[in-house]
């Protein structure tokens, strides 16, 4: 009797405890539909036509409006988006087959199919003035044998093609809207996307609204997304604090600590593929399109260039210029990238630098000019470099310039060294080939190395990941040794949003994806 009473009491307690726990478990908040998010763009888009767009500002809008054949996951791995699987590549590497979704419509109701994909790819490839031409240069033809299959014929194997199709070159535009607007597509773009274009006032705002035609519309929660181009980072943060913005795409490192301390805001960080480096004029005497020649730049000398590099203290730069919030880098591939060689940057070697300067026989101080795009951070960086390399015998003059002048000087070879940021790409080929290939479009140093060229050509044609990694390890070692580009840091991106914004994740490409983001209404 007593035993049964105990048993009954125990069961009763257990039942009561379970009943109490159930509401707690059920109180996991589900995303709420509704609301609009105002977010900053650090630069305005040039055009909202994926074929002709050249700015990161346009990419920021596209990411929520214009899906691609492939996308990235948060860590930068390629995943299918409008495609249903990664591409199948023939044994000779010259035929690429991409399966695409069915039952999907563009945001104007036009059915999405393989023919629409081919139309977009051909436009990207062949339209006059297209900025996607080099990204798709390996493709000679594209075809749609059926509604869910795209077949690409290549002139050469291209291991970087899938990565290219995860950016603007892979964005698929409504064929109806292309036929209607043609070259004016950017005025009223229509794609497949969680949000659709509403309006744009250049320099003021771009408005998107949730698309009910989207194939995964039930997981899109926001009603509206409004982009506001704000170039100044102080103004961006001020607007976030004032509540006029709910999300800031790029937060200055100087604002990170204060925002982190404020419970009203959430700061998210992600190491990206972007970097800051210095491009050295080794032989650019006749402009980027001309032949290499002799330049009056002390750092064209291999020994002095190495000495300059050895005199740099990257950790000190990170601490003093970036508040310790970036990652020191000495190669073209970010630690966030699976192709990173895993080799840590060497520490500063001032004695080695001095020895090389002495061995060169060049009288000190060695005068060199560093051109930087004018900004407080870049000037601070330049001044710190000035003091570091001075200890090795270099007299570094820092010349701040506006971007257009800097680009022109780079093009013309009118520089000794130039601070050159790069926003970074997923595939290592896109971060290396154009800068280091002898005839690369961005080989501003005009450095020539046939062996490096051969390695780069081989790496972009090999589809096996492990084989590519081995090749890029050799390439990076050669790039580091040559020092035509001296890498300083890999960029950690910081975004900030109000605590009411739920589900936001910062991806390695820094593009703010808002598909599954919601606003807490409480």
Partner 1 sequence: MSRYFLRRAGESLIALWLATIVVFIGVRSLPGDPAIAMSGEGREPAANALIRQRYGLDEPLPIQYLRWISITITGDLGTSIRTGQPVTAEILSRIPTTLELAGLAGLFAICFGLPLGIAAAVRRGTRLDYLAGSVGLIGLSIPTFWLGIVLILIFAVWLEVLPASGYVPFLEDPIQNLERMILPVIVLGSALGAVLLRQVRSGMIGSLGSDYVRTARAKGLTERQVVVGHALRNSLITVVTILGLELGALISGSVVTESIFLIPGFGRLIIEAVSRRDYPVIQGVALFSAVAYIAINFGVDLLYSYLNPKVRMGSTAQ
Pairing of strands 88-89, 95-99: antiparallel
Which residue lies nearer to partner 1 by CB, 237 or 318?
Answer: 237
Which residue lies nearer to partner 1 by CB, 316 or 423?
Answer: 423
Residues 23 and 42: their CA atoms lie apart, in Å, by 44
186 with 52: CB under 8 angstroms? yes
Q: How far is the CB of 408 from partner 1 (least distance, A)?
A: 4
Residues 410 and 403: their CA atoms lie apart, in Å, by 10
Which residue lies nearer to partner 1 by CB, 10 or 243?
Answer: 243
Q: How far is the CB of 10 from partner 1 (least distance, A)?
A: 55
Which residue lies nearer to partner 1 by CB, 131 or 306?
Answer: 131
64 with 193: CB under 8 angstroms? yes
Residues 170 and 116: their CA atoms lie apart, in Å, by 12
Which residue lies nearer to partner 1 by CB, 239 or 301?
Answer: 239
Q: How far is the CB of 17 from partner 1 (least distance, A)?
A: 45
Residue linked to tokens 């290592």: 428
Which residues make up the interface to partner 1 (CB under 8 A)? 44, 46-47, 52, 54-56, 128-131, 133-134, 184, 186, 201-204, 228, 230-232, 234-235, 238-239, 241-244, 289, 402-405, 407-409, 411, 422-423, 434, 441-442
Which residue lies nearer to partner 1 by CB, 284 or 360?
Answer: 284
Neighbouring residues of 454: CB distance < 8 A, sequence distance ≥ 6:
none
Q: How far is the CB of 453 from partner 1 (least distance, A)?
A: 19
Which residue lies nearer to partner 1 by CB, 35 or 421?
Answer: 421
Q: How far is the CB of 238 from partner 1 (least distance, A)?
A: 5
Which residue lies nearer to partner 1 by CB, 133 or 286?
Answer: 133
Q: How far is the CB of 131 from partner 1 (least distance, A)?
A: 5
Which residue lies nearer to partner 1 by CB, 246 or 360?
Answer: 246
122 with 169: CB under 8 angstroms? no
Where are any strands of DSSP class E within 3-122? Answer: 36-41, 70-72, 78-80, 88-89, 95-99
Residues 49 and 120: their CA atoms lie apart, in Å, by 11
Radius of gyration of the chain (CA): 26
Short-list 278, 417, 274, 418, CA closest to 333: 274
Q: How far is the CB of 407 from partner 1 (least distance, A)?
A: 5
Examine residue 191 and say whether the peptide bond preceding it is cis (omega within 30 degrees of 0).
no
Q: How far is the CB of 346 from partner 1 (least distance, A)?
A: 29
Q: Is 161 helix (H, G, I), strand (E, B) or coil?
A: helix
Q: How far is the CB of 399 from partner 1 (least distance, A)?
A: 12
Query: In whole angstroms, how far apart are CA 227 and each of 173, 182, 215, 223, 270?
Result: 21, 25, 23, 14, 21
Q: How far is the CB of 67 from partner 1 (least distance, A)?
A: 20
Which residue lies nearer to partner 1 by CB, 52 or 214?
Answer: 52
Please count the CA atoms within 13 angstroms of the CA of 32 that sit on its side-chain side: 12
Short-list 199, 224, 191, 267, CA closest to 39: 224
Element (H, E) at 82: none
Which residues make beta-bridge pairs with 207?
A: 199, 226
């Amino acid at each position: 009797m007593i035993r049964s009473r105990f048993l009954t009491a125990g069961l009763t307690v257990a039942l009561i405890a379970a009943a109490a726990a159930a509401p707690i478990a059920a109180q996991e908040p589900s995303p709420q539909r509704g609301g609009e998010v105002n977010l900053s763009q650090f630069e305005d888009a040039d055009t909202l036509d994926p074929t002709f767009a050249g700015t990161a500002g346009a990419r920021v809008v596209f990411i929520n409006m214009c899906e691609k054949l492939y996308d990235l996951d948060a860590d930068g791995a390629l995943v299918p988006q409008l495609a249903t699987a990664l591409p199948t590549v023939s044994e000779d590497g010259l035929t690429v087959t991409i399966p695409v979704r069915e039952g999907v419509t563009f945001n104007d109701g036009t059915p999405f199919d393989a023919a629409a994909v081919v139309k977009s790819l051909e436009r990207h490839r062949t339209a006059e003035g297209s900025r996607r031409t080099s990204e798709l240069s390996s493709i000679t033809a594209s075809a749609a044998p059926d509604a869910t299959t795209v077949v690409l014929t290549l002139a050469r194997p291209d291991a970087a093609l899938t990565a290219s199709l995860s950016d603007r070159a892979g964005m698929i535009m409504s064929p109806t809207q292309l036929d209607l607007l043609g070259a004016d597509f950017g005025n009223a773009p229509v794609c497949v996307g969680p949000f659709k274009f509403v309006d744009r006032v250049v320099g003021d705002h771009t408005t998107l609204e949730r698309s009910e035609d989207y194939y995964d519309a039930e997981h899109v929660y926001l009603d509206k997304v409004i982009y506001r181009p704000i170039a100044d980072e102080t103004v961006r943060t001020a607007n976030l604090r004032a509540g006029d913005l709910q999300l800031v795409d790029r937060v200055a490192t100087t604002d990170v600590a204060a925002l982190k301390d404020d419970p009203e805001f959430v700061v998210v960080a992600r190491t990206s593929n972007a970097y800051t480096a210095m491009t050295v004029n080794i032989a650019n005497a006749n402009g980027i399109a001309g032949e290499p020649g002799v330049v009056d730049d002390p750092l064209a000398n291999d020994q002095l260039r190495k000495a300059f590099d050895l005199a740099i203290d990257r950790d000190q730069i990170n601490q003093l210029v970036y508040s310790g919030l970036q990652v020191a880098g000495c190669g073209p591939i970010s630690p966030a990238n699976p192709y990173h060689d895993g080799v840590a940057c060497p520490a500063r070697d001032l004695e080695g630098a001095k020895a090389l300067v002495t061995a060169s026989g060049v009288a000190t101080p060695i005068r060199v000019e560093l051109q930087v795009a004018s900004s407080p951070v870049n000037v601070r960086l330049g001044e710190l470099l000035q003091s570091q390399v001075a200890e090795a015998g270099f007299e570094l003059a820092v010349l701040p310039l506006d971007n257009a002048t800097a680009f022109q000087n780079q093009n013309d070879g009118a520089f000794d060294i130039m601070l050159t940021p790069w926003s970074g790409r997923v595939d290592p080929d896109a971060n290396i080939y154009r800068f280091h290939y002898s005839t690369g479009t961005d080989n501003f140093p005009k450095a020539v190395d046939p062996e490096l060229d051969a390695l780069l050509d081989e790496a972009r044609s090999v589809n096996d990941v492990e084989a590519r990694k081995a090749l890029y390890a050799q390439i990076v070692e050669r790039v580091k040794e040559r020092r035509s580009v001296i890498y300083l840091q890999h960029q950690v991106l910081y975004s900030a949003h109000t605590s009411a914004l739920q589900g936001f994740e910062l991806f390695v490409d820094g593009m703010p994806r808002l598909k599954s983001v919601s606003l807490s209404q409480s």
